[in-house]
């Protein structure tokens, strides 16, 4: 299954759960269900942005974007993460206010039915995206997976909370029932504040041109050392990752040696062979110089 098809599946599923959550939440008088629906609604808009971003990335290089458009990918991940964090802050603030106003009455039976359907549906989409994100190198799919993972965890927490409210609180402590819903919104909001953290940090590193992970750098470092040893040269290696593109620059410092085009192409091909195992897209720049200032 292609990346584009998976994003469309996520969009259709998100739209369905969003509509269901908002309508069901209003019917049950549940803020946590409405929060779940609104989270899905925000995710729907972000999923459309993911599709637009994917289309831009696939256009490749142009006169305006001579190095391609892969930088759009981490930019979108940052935007998505900030949007989710902002929504969680707002929801938590509103629920805190509601606690001091006596809570909210909820139709437990209606809420339980929603929680079961939502938990099963969200988990199914999460597993689908998770299985394909391992095969397709796409931070867009990973971000979608984390969105659905959060929704799945939220749905299961809601299910457990409403089961507890129905089985324990309703018969024994009915006065506590109005506080269950706002407390769940606060807990869910705090949880969702941390969920996008990993994707947000990784995207920020890419936008700041931070050195790529050791998993990527080490094979390239080994190849650069081998080439430098063969050429009796010194070298400097620069490796960054931007979205799905790996950018590699190697400067070799040699003394009074000339290279044919064929020799330089052969060395570049060696690096390309290593990079092809690490990333689906790459920009490789191999320089040969006698100028020590280049190291």
What lies within 8 Å, CB to CB, of 279 at 6+ separation is 137, 216, 241, 244, 245, 246
Residue 245 and residue 134 share a domain: no
| Residue among 223, 224, 248, 244 at smallest CA distance from 235 | 224
Structure tokens, 5: 């098809």
Q: Is 93 helix (H, G, I), strand (E, B) or coil?
A: helix
- How confident is the prediction along the chain (295 residues), in pLDDT tens digits per residue? 788 888 888 888 888 888 888 888 888 887 878 877 887 787 777 777 877 887 888 787 788 887 778 888 888 888 888 888 887 888 888 888 888 888 777 777 888 888 889 889 989 988 888 888 777 767 678 777 877 887 787 788 778 878 888 888 778 888 888 888 788 888 878 877 777 777 788 888 888 888 888 888 999 999 999 999 988 889 999 999 888 788 899 999 988 778 888 989 999 999 999 988 888 788 899 988 887 776 6
- Domain membership of residue 39 as a residue range: 3-207
Residue 225 and residue 92 share a domain: no
Residue 113 and residue 92 share a domain: yes
Q: Which helix (H) or strand (E) holds 159?
A: helix 139-164
pLDDT of residue 294: 64
Question: What is the DSSP-derived secondary structure letter of residue 211?
Answer: B
Residue 71 and residue 44 share a domain: yes
Domain boundary among 180, 207, 234: 207
Dihedral sign for Cα 89, 90, 93, 96, please.
negative
CATH code for position 53: 1.20.1510.10
Structure tokens, 121: 């549906």
Domain boundary among 171, 188, 207: 207
Please tell me whether the overall predicted TM-score, pTM, comes out greater than 0.75 for this model.
no
Return d(Cα 66, Cα 82) in angstroms, integer: 29
CATH code for position 255: 3.30.70
Residue 156 and residue 18 share a domain: yes
Q: Is 103 helix (H, G, I), strand (E, B) or coil?
A: coil
Phi/psi-derived region of residue 258, left when phi > 0, alpha when psi is between -120 and 50, beta in every other case: beta
Residue 200 and residue 222 share a domain: no
Q: How many alpha carbons lie under 13 Å from residue 265 in its C-beta half-sphere?
A: 3
What lies within 8 Å, CB to CB, of 292 at 6+ separation is 253
Chain Cα centroid distance, residue 100: 36
Number of folded domains that form the chain: 2
Structure tokens, 288: 């040969």
Residue 243 and residue 275 share a domain: yes
Residue 247 and residue 122 share a domain: no
Return d(Cα 133, Cα 136) in angstroms, integer: 5
Residue 287 and residue 171 share a domain: no
Burial of 2 (0-12, 13-18, 19+ CB in 10 A): exposed
Residue 221 and residue 168 share a domain: no
Calculate Rg over the CA atoms of the chain: 25
pLDDT digits (tens, 9 = 90+) for 53-70: 878 887 877 888 877 788
Residue 187 and residue 88 share a domain: yes
Residue 239 and residue 165 share a domain: no
Domain boundary among 207, 226, 248: 207
What lies within 8 Å, CB to CB, of 56 at 6+ separation is 69, 72
């Amino acid at each position: 299954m292609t990346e584009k098809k998976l994003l469309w599946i996520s969009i259709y599923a998100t739209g369905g759960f969003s509509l269901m959550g908002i309508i069901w939440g209003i019917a049950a008088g549940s803020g946590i269900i409405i929060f779940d629906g609104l989270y899905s609604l925000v995710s729907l808009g972000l999923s459309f942005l993911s599709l637009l971003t994917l289309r831009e990335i696939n256009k490749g290089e142009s006169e305006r974007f001579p190095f391609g458009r892969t930088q759009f990918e981490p930019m979108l991940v940052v935007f998505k993460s900030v949007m989710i964090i902002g929504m969680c802050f707002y929801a938590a603030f509103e629920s805190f206010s509601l606690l001091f106003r006596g809570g909210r009455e909820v139709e437990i039976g209606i809420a339980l039915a929603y929680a079961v359907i939502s938990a099963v549906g969200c988990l199914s989409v999460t597993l689908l995206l998770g299985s394909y994100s391992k095969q397709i190198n796409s931070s867009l799919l990973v971000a979608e997976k984390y969105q659905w993972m959060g929704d799945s965890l939220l749905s299961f927490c809601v299910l457990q909370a409403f089961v507890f409210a129905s089985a324990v609180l309703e018969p024994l402590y009915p006065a506590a029932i109005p506080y269950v819903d706002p407390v769940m919104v606060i807990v869910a909001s705090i949880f969702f504040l941390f969920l996008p953290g990993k994707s947000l940090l990784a995207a920020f590193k890419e936008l700041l041109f931070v050195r790529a992970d050791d998993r990527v750098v080490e094979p390239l470092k080994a190849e650069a050392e081998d080439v430098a040893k063969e050429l009796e040269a010194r070298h400097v290696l620069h490796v960054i990752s931007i979205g799905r593109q790996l950018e590699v620059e190697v400067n070799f410092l040699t003394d009074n040696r000339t290279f044919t085009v064929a020799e330089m192409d052969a060395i570049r091909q060696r690096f390309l062979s290593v990079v092809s195992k690490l990333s689906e897209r790459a920009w490789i720049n191999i320089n040969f110089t006698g100028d020590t200032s280049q190291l």
